[in-house]
Structure 1
Amino acid sequence: MRADEIRDAASQPRSPERSPRKSRGYKMRDAACKQFAGGRRALSVRSPHRPDTEHLRLLRLPFPIRLLLASCLLISCLSPSPTRSQVPPPAPPQNRPVALVGGTIHPMTGPVIERGVLVFDKGKITAVGPDVPVPPDAEVIDIRGQHVYPGLIDANSIIGLTEIDSIRATRDFAEVGDVNPNVRAEVAVNPDSEIIAVTRANGVLVALAVPRGGVIAGQSAAIVLDGWTWESMTLKAPVGLHVYWPRMTPVRAFFVFVSEEEQRRRAEEALRKLKEAFREARAYWTAKKAEGGHPGTPYHDVDVRWEAMVPVLEGKLPVFVHADTLDQIQAAVAWAEAEKVRIVLVGGADAPMAADLLRQKDVPVITGPILELPTREWEPYDAAFTLPARLAQAGIRYCIGGDGGAWNERNLPYHAAMATAYGLPRDEALKAITISCARILGIDDRVGSLEVGKDATLLVATGDPLDIRTQVTRAFIQGRPVNLYNRHQRLYEKYREKYRQAGAR
């Protein structure tokens, strides 16, 4: 049969008796397609009687655009209303002196002052003592029966770098890759975070925003918990370079699915990357110093990664090494001595076991959470509770850090309180979250104690901040009054009203 005959045969209509039987579903789909086609034709001629096909326009969009629109709709539905999730706005800069009169002042670097007076102006403390003259134009605040403390300092947190763990877009504390010394934590801080308002309501007014992830995570920044932008919140940046030391001993547990050989290989690879990064940075530093020193010396291109490590190699910035076990601590101290860099231990669960080494090398420790269970079967139940007291007895410089997160950093004073119940004197516990912390972070010239010339970053409370019953009634950051209203208080008022209405029925 020729090709033209085949085409003629195919074009002939099939006889009714040979027509395939159509199912009901097929007929319904066929009718819908005809209606849709008719709607398109009617739309093209602008017929007033065209079928209703407006609802199909979204389906004709490309799939990525449809996915984006659906995501935006979901987020808008799940997000709380703006009127209820808005963080209180920061106060303007201080424009007149303020005098806190009649309260008990706890300077942290001197004896307690009963019925004292504290005066601050333009964000700085100008006078503190029992008999201090009050400027005639000052705003006088009577705080009789209350106590004044410097703002508490959280030395290990991701406050401002995260909001909701289940939403990736709000988590900005880790970058891709294992070596990121150029990462700056302060530029990622979200001033409108609900966590900031919740944390400062309990007296924590200064925090160290710490990057996470990889071997060299980046540079941390000390921030105050009030401000319009990250620039206005930054107290000091950078504070130090953060290195996460790999585990030296394989973990054997039912929840670990990686073989011991693979764990050792990963640890060796992490250490290789760390040493290689410092070797590259030192070579870069040497090349940069040689620029222009001799005729014909070529100029070296700027590498932001190694440029960020130059202050560390010069001894201007410390390296914060996150390590807990004894073998990690010993390896980190030996590495620091070989690289000729200053280090600060973060975590340090086994630091008392290396007390002689840490004391000899003058390595301070920022403890991990005190409200913590033992990590080994053979450890006593109070291993974490007694850690600050054991560090103090060993003569090691230390401060108490929070749990390293964000939402629970408001509980920082209660970590110190638990340490007082297990051997740490109360005044030492208060120093561990104020002046001792400020000294280790290198911000003691600004915060940590109530002294003339320092920032007026302080809190007024009904009692001891370590007592869970104490209420913070006022707070000032660099002389600005801080609005203590927060999400926790809003929810408390909401559900109190619920039960008030239920009781009225």
Structure 2
Amino acid sequence: MTASLVVTGFVGAAATPSFAGAQVVIPTAAQDQPVVLKGATIHTVTKGTITNGTIVMERGKITAIGGPEVATPRGAKVVDLTGKHIYPGLIDAYSTVGITEIGAVDVSSDINELGDFNPNVRPEVAVNAESRHIGTTRSAGVLVAFATPGGGLISGLSSAISLEGWTWEEMSMKGAAALNVNWPDPNARPRRGFGGPPGGFGGRPQPAPKTYAEQVEEIKNFFGEARAYRDALKAGQNVRTDARYAAMIPALNGEIPVVVAADGVSQINDAITWAKQEGVKLVIRGGRNALDVAARLKAENVPVILTATMSAPSRSDDAYDEAYATPAALFKAGVKFAIAGDGDALYSYRLPWDAGVAVAFGLPEEEALKAVTINAAEFMGVADKVGSLEVGKEATLVITTGTPLDMTTNIIQSYIQGREIDMNDMQKQFFKKYMEKINQAKKKIAS
């Protein structure tokens, strides 16, 4: 049994073993002085590239962007970035950063809840601001993540978080950003409902395994019940408050997307048909076989969040580069997509390279950059805040020696909402520690 996301908000940082050299990262205070970044090549993503560019950041927002002619506000801190590059902070549209720490320690994981229907689960309240994964993720240029619950058929809401702050309240950008549905797999063995092991507890009979059709019907019924609840409230009827149905109203009204986890062709097709019947805004997550449904995805204007761009072939007759080449093929087919990791907090720092491998296999670099910035922001409803460098948006950006999608690029500094963040992380600390060991050994040999 996992700790409750909604009730406790606990992630087991206290259960993490302590050792010498533990990570110490101090959150930065809110921006209280104008900052001007001058001389860099600015990659706005949506409005082209500016050479010898200038960005002005005030009170956490971008207030001016352009060439060297942009005026410097009085009292501003000016940073010369000649020869460097500035990009929007990267966005992981499918993440568990902050809601899980150590895979082998159950109490440090707040991803899954018991039961099949938990639409009211909101992961932001469980985010551990002290998580070590936050530092390593930020060091790769990933500054915004969508904490996403798992388990069951309707697992809960994705929460958009900025990876800087003392508490989850400071980190929260949008608590209810998307509703997550795990579409059943028609090729999987029938699954049991919650109720214990097949043999039962104390000889009590257990629920019979549920078929694909039964699981899909359960999803349809739950959405129908939530719609009836919404309509009753709208009509002014006296109904008992139900947190699960209430959490679904924004999705039913089209205010937030319904992100459906689906990989197979039949799964994706059935999810699209269902979403049209429900009248909800659909986003497919996973999309391993999305290319086989590309024509319909384009025709129905259904975007995809790809989560397996660096994985091995899924079938014995697939090409070795099936996953690597899928983004380029979807782009050529006119399908809108973002690229995310596989949801493992330990590897969220690899997001830039999930996009970079797609470039190596034919995806234009500018499209790969969009896939981890503005596309993710648009699909998940935060494009008014992040995803590109524009006046009025949050000053969330990375300063680099080159494209962040290349492993050889160094992330020099990041700003989140105008805050010049601490770039320390555990990997850097271990590097320094063991380089010191090597240096001491060299001195000993030399003496």
With structure 1 as the length reference, what TM-score do the two structures score?
Answer: 0.80
Distance 1:153 1:395 in 2: 22
Once the two structures are overlaid, the 10-residue window that deviates more, 333-342 or 470-479, is 333-342
For each residue in 1:98-150, what CA deviation from the matched residue of structure 2 results, as whole angstroms up to 9, or x when unmatched? 01111111111122111111111000101111121112311011111110000
Q: Aligned-pair distance for 1:86? A: 3.8
Is residue 256–residue 380 contact of structure 2 (8 Å, CA) maintained in 1?
A: no
Query: What CA distance in whole angstroms lies between the structure 1 residues aligned with 2:343 and 2:294?
Result: 23
Residue 154 of structure 2 is aligned to residue 154 of structure 1: no
1:335-387 CA-to-partner distances (Å, cap 9, x unmatched) read 11111111100011111211222112111000012111011111111111011
Q: CA deviation at 1:290?
A: 2.2
Asked whether the 8 Å contact 1:87–1:194 carries over to 2, the reply is no
Matches within 5 A, 1:25-174: 79-81=17-19, 84-130=21-67, 131-174=69-112
- 2: CA distance, partners of 1:500 / 1:321: 51
* Count of residues in correspondence between the two structures: 416
1:498 correspondence with 2:443: no
Alignment correspondent of 1:463: 402
Take 2:431 and 2:132, find their aligned partners in 1: how far apart are those partners? 15
Q: Is the 8 A contact 2:42 2:85 kept in 1?
A: yes
Structure 1 residue 189 and structure 2 residue 189: aligned?
Answer: no
Q: Give the percent of matched residue pairs that are identical in Structure 1 and Structure 2.
A: 44
Match of 1:270 among 203, 210, 215: 215
Question: 1:484, CA displacement in angstroms?
Answer: 0.7
* Equivalent residue number for residue 299 of structure 2: 360
User: What is the Cα deviation at residue 497 of structure 1?
Assistant: 1.1
**Secondary structure at the residue paired with 2:119?**
coil
- Tell me which amino acid in the other structure corresponds to 2:350: N
Secondary structure (helix, strand or coil) at the match of 2:32 reads coil
Match of 1:239 in 2: 177
Q: Does 1:479 align with 2:422?
A: no
Larger Rg: 1
Structure 2 Cα separation of the partners of residues 422 and 163 of structure 1: 33
Deviation >2 Å, runs of 4+: 75-78, 83-87, 262-270
Consecutive unaligned residues in structure 2, runs of 5 or more: 1-12, 191-197, 199-206
3-state SS of paired residue (2:224): helix
Q: Partner of 2:157 in structure 1?
A: 219
CA change 1:216–1:78 in 2 (3 A) is closer
- 2:9 aligned residue: none
2:280 is equivalent to residue 335 of structure 1: no
Whether 1:280 aligns to 2:218 is no
Q: Once the 2 structures are TM-superposed, how far is the Cα of residue 287 of structure 1 from its aligned partner? A: 1.9
2:384 counterpart of 1:445? yes
What is the TM-score with the length of structure 2 in the denominator? 0.90
**Matches of 1:286 and 1:184, distance apart in 2:** 23
Gaps of 5+ in 1: 1-74, 253-257, 292-297
Partner amino acid, structure 1, of 2:223: F
Q: Say which of 274, 280, 289 aligns to 2:234.
A: 289
Deviation at 1:78, TM superposition (A): 7.4
DSSP 3-state at the match of 1:442: coil
Is this contact kept in 1: 2:23–2:429, CA < 8 A?
Answer: no
Q: Separation in 2 of the partners of 1:445 and 1:390?
A: 29
Q: SS in structure 1 opposite 2:267?
A: helix
Query: Amino acid of the residue matched to residue 361 of structure 1?
Result: E
Structure 2 distance, partners of 1:446, 1:76, is 33
**8 A Cα contact 2:376 2:387, kept in partner:** yes
**Aligned mates of 2:434, 2:34 — CA distance in 1:** 39
* Aligned-pair CA distance for 1:160: 0.5
Deviation of 1:267 after TM superposition, in Å, equals 2.6
Q: For each residue in 1:239-261, what CA deviation from the matched residue of structure 2 results, as whole angstroms up to 9, or x when unmatched?
A: 11000011112479xxxxx9xxx
Which structure has more relative contact order (CA 8 Å, sep 6+)? It is 2
Pairwise CA distance, 1:164: 0.6
